[in-house]
Amino acid sequence: MDILTLLLTIVDMFTTSKRRIFLDYAAGTPVSERALKAYCDVSQYYANPQALHSEGLEAARIRDDARSRIAKILGVKSHELIFTSGGTEANNLALAGYLDALEAAGVDMNECHIIVSKIEHPSVSDVFEPFVRRGLTVDFASPNTHGVITPEAITECIQENTVLVSVALVNSEIGTVQPLHAIGKLLKQQTPIVGGKKLEKIILHTDACQGLYQSLVPQGLGVDLMSIDSGKMFGPRGVGALYIRRGVKLSPVLRGGSQEQGLRPGTENIQLCAGFAVAFEECSELRESESIRLDEVRNELLKALTEEIPDIEVNGNGKNQTPHILNIAIPKIDSEYVAMYLDQRGLALSTKSACLERSGVSESLVVAALGKEKWHAVSALRFSFGRDTSIEDVPLIALKVSEAVRAYRSFP
C-alpha cells in the first residue's frame, strides 16, 4: 500500500460515519434552497385555483406564473405546457394520450405502427402493452455499441403507417445524448398513411427528464412532445410537465376534471408548480458552468478508477455524453454486491435505473442492449453527479470502489 492510499484509508476511517458521498443524482436530486423557499412561500395559499373568488384567482395566478416561467425557458407558449405529477405521468400522457386520440378519431390500432428506442425507461416502454393487445405494432430501434440511436436505426424501422417515434434525449443509465434533431429532420420527410388516410406527420416524443445539462428547446430538438421532471432538476418531487406542440391532439389518460385544458384532472398543486419553476430557472442559469465542472469530475473519476482497476470498461462512452453520468463495467464482480458494500462505507450509487433496482432483474437492460458480452450488463455501476459532488472526493471514491472489487474477487 502506497503512502497516498494509506493516508486516504486513515482519513476514511474517521469520516465514513460522519459524511456520505451521494452518487445517484440520476435517480433523484435534492431540492435546492431557492426552490424550497418558493414552495414554502406559496404554502400560505390554499385556495383551489379553479375557484372564482379572490383567493382562487390568486392561486390560479401563481400556477400560471410558474407555467409561464418554465415555458419561457423552453421557448414555447404557455398553453403548450401541461403540469403533471412527474416524468412518468408526462410520458404516459404523451404516448397513451396520442394513441387514444388517434383511436377516438377513428384510427384502428391494427393499422398503426410505432418505433421506440430499445433503451427507454419503463415509463415509456411499458406504456404500449394495452395498445399491442388491441393490434398496435411496435418496433424497438437498437442502439450502437455506444448507446446511440442513430437516424439510420430509425430509418430501418420506419413503415408507411408509422405514426409515432419515442427516443429519450439522455439515457438515464449510460448518459448518451441522442441525436434528436437529426431524427426529427428525418421524420419530417415522412408522411404516414394509416387506413388509406394521410396524417400530418410522424410524431416525435422525447423523455427529457435527464436533460438538465442540455438545451431543452423543443423547436431546436425537433420534437412534438417532451416530458420533464422537477425531481430530476433540483426541484420538489411530485410535479413534472409535458410540452405538447400546438396542433398535436391528445386524449386524457385520467378522468374527473377539466384542469390543465382537460388533459390532467385534479386540483393543481401550486406549491409544487412554484418550486418547479424556480428550480428549472436555476438549472438554466447553472447549466453551462455545472456542465463544465461535472465533465471534469467525470473525467477525473474515470481516470482514477482506471488507475485503480485497469480492466474496467465504459458503457456508453460516445462523443455526445451528459456530464453527470458515468457507467462502467467491471469484470469478475457482482455489481449489486459492490453497490451494497459501498453503501455500508458511505457511497451511494446504483447498478441500473432506480425504477428497476428492486424489480428482481439482475442485469442492466440498457447495457445488455449495447450488444456487448453479457458480463458488461451484470457488472455495471452507474455514478451520477450533482451540485454537491466535489472533485476533491474523486480519490476517495476510486479507492473505495477498488476496495469493494478486491473484497468480492477475494471470495473463494
- Indicate the residue type of 169: L
The C-alpha atoms of residue 39 and residue 41 are separated, in whole angstroms, by 6
DSSP letter for 30, please: P
The C-alpha atoms of residue 169 and residue 167 are separated, in whole angstroms, by 6
**CA–CA distances in Å: residue 336 to residues 18, 111, 185, 390, 393:** 24, 43, 41, 25, 22
Phi, then psi, of 204 in degrees rounded to 5? -110, 120
- Indicate the residue type of 321: Q
CA angle, corner 325, sides to 382 and 292, nearest 5? Answer: 150
pLDDT for res 362: 65
> Alpha-carbon dihedral of residues 95, 99, 104, 107, nearest 10 degrees?
160
DSSP letter for 376, please: H
The tens digit of pLDDT for each residue in 104-133 reads 999 999 999 999 999 999 999 999 999 999
**Strand ranges of the sheet holding 225-229, from the earlier edge strand across to the other edge:** 81-84, 240-244, 225-229, 203-207, 162-166, 113-117, 137-141
Cell, residue 249: 391532439
**CA–CA distances in Å: residue 331 to residues 150, 284, 309, 311, 316:** 28, 38, 10, 7, 16
**CA–CA distances in Å: residue 121 to residues 7, 126, 316, 333, 358:** 41, 8, 16, 25, 15
The C-alpha atoms of residue 289 and residue 308 are separated, in whole angstroms, by 29
The C-alpha atoms of residue 315 and residue 176 are separated, in whole angstroms, by 9
User: Any idea which residues carry the catalytic annotation?
Assistant: 355
**What domains appear along the chain, each with residue ranges and CATH number?**
3-29+286-409 (3.90.1150.10), 33-281 (3.40.640.10)
Give SS3 for 241: strand
Place of cell 477525473: 300
Place of cell 474523486: 394
Cβ pair 272, 239 in contact under 8 A:
yes
pTM for this entry: 0.92
State CA 296 to chain mean position distance.
22
The tens digit of pLDDT for each residue in 290-336 reads 999 999 999 999 999 999 999 999 999 778 999 999 999 999 999 99
Strand 197-198 versus strand 193-194 pairing type: antiparallel
pLDDT for res 6: 46
Termini Cα distance of the chain: 23
Q: Average pLDDT for residues 42-56, to the nearest whole number?
A: 94
The C-alpha atoms of residue 95 and residue 120 are separated, in whole angstroms, by 13
The tens digit of pLDDT for each residue in 164-222 reads 999 999 999 999 999 999 999 999 999 999 988 999 999 999 999 999 999 999 999 99
**CA–CA distances in Å: residue 265 to residues 114, 132, 258, 260, 300:** 27, 26, 6, 7, 47
The tens digit of pLDDT for each residue in 356-401 reads 444 455 688 999 999 888 888 899 999 999 999 999 999 999 999 9
pLDDT band at 96 (very low <50, low <70, confident <90, very high): very high
Smallest CA-to-CA distance from 41 within 14, 10, 74, 65 is with 65
Smallest CA-to-CA distance from 175 within 371, 25, 363 is with 25
Cell, residue 113: 405502427
